[in-house]
Amino acid sequence: MLPKSRGIIVNMSSGWGRSGAALGSYFVLLRSVLFLKLLNEIRNILVSQQVAPYCASKWAVEGLSRAVAKEMPDGFAVVALSPGVINTEMLQSCFGNSASGYQTPDAWSLKAATMILNLTAADNGASLTGKPVSLRSIEISTQASRITALFWGSKKSVKHQPVDSSLGDFTLTGSETEEVKENPTKGKKVSVSIISSILDVSSHEWDSCALDATGPEKFNPFLSHGFLSSLEETGCAVQETGWMPSHIIAKDESENILGVAPLYLKSHSYGEFVFDHSWADAYYSFGARYYPKFQCCVPFTPVTGPRILVRNTSFKDQVFDVIVTALKDLTAKSQVSSLHITFPSEAEWYKLKDRGFLQRIGMQYHWKNRNYKRLMLPKLFLGYDKTLAFSLVHG
C-alpha cells in the first residue's frame, strides 16, 4: 500500500464492540411488526452470558480503528466492520438451534466482498454496520420470529431536511382549575413554533417558564436561559457538534410565551448520559437510520428536572399537552427515528406515559459530603437517585 500511496484497512468488529451485551431497561414505543420481531431478537442477543471477553476485544478493535484513522495519511482509510448476526460457534452457544436461522460466514463473505472493494479513503474512521441492499434483503417470517439482514453500509447519518418553523395552532378550552395564581391566559389560541437558537427568545420569558415549572424553592439553574445560551455561544451545543438547537416555543394570541422545551436534533448519542447505542446498532442492522433523532434534554447534564417548561396559568395542563403533541408531530413530520425526553421530573415521567411514551428507569450513584473537614471513608454516604427517560420511536 505504501508504494501506491493508497489502501484500505478493514478491522472486523461487532455490535457487541459498540454497545456491550446488556439490554438493561431501555424501552421504546415500537410501531411496526418488524420492530416487534426485532425486539425479541435484540433481547436474545443482548442478554447472552459469558461474552465479556469477546465484547472487550471488539471494543478494543473499535477504539484502535478510530485512533489509527486519525493518523492515516491522505489516500488511506481504516474502518471497523461489524458483519451483524452470523451463525458462528459463539452464536450457537448463545442461541442454540435458533442460530441456524442466520447466514453462515461463507455466505456473508460473498456479499461483503463487493462492499469492501468499494470502500474509499472517504470512509476513513467509519464504523460500518447493517444496511440492506434493498427491501428484499430483509426477510420477515410471520411463522417464525426471525429477521435477517443481509448487507451492511456506512453508519453516518443522513442530512436532515429542515421543517417549517411553525408547528401549528391549537385551541384551548375553559379553565381547568381555579387553584392557581391569578395569571390568566390572554388568548385561547396557542401557536407552537421551533426556533434555531435559544437567543431568539428573551431570557426573561424563558426563565419565567423555567421558574414556574420548578417553583422558586426548587429553581434549576441548568434550565435557565443563561446556562443553555452559554452552551450555544461557546460552540458546545450547536449543529457542528451534533447538537442542532430546535427549541419549542408556545405563544398565545398576544405573543405571550406560555411554554418552552429545550430540544436538539442529534446526529449521535454522546453527551446524554443515557446509552441507546444498542438501539442505534439495531436500526442499522436492519437497514434503518437511527440518526438524526430528537433529544429533549439539558446537554451534558444528567440532572433530573422538568423538560416541558410551562407558565403557571389556568391552562397550564393544556399547554403541556399542546407542546407534547407538537413534539410528536415534529418527530413524524421530520421523518427522524425517535424522540427522547431524558431526565424529566417524576411528575412528567407519569404524564408522558399517559401520552404514549414508554418509560425508562436508570440509576445514578452519588457521593455526598456532609460538611466533613477531611475524607472519612466510613462516614461517606453512597446513595442513588432514579433517572427517568422516555422514548418515542417510529418503526
Question: Which residues are the active-site residues?
Answer: 54
Rounded-to-integer distance, Cα 23 and Cα 99, Å: 19
**Residues in Cβ contact with 233 at an 8 Å cutoff, skipping those fewer than 6 apart:** 199
Is the separation of the CB atoms in 126 and 155 below 8 Å?
yes
Residue with cell 442478554: 47
**Residues in Cβ contact with 289 at an 8 Å cutoff, skipping those fewer than 6 apart:** 157, 158, 283, 337
Give the distance, in angstroms, between the CA of residue 384 and the centroid of all CA atoms in the same chain: 23
Residue 165 sits at φ, ψ, to 5 deg, of -65, -25
Is the separation of the CB atoms in 150 and 103 below 8 Å?
yes
Task: Please give the grid coordinates belonging to residue 123.
Answer: 470512509
Q: How many CA atoms lie within 13 A of 266 on its CB side?
A: 23
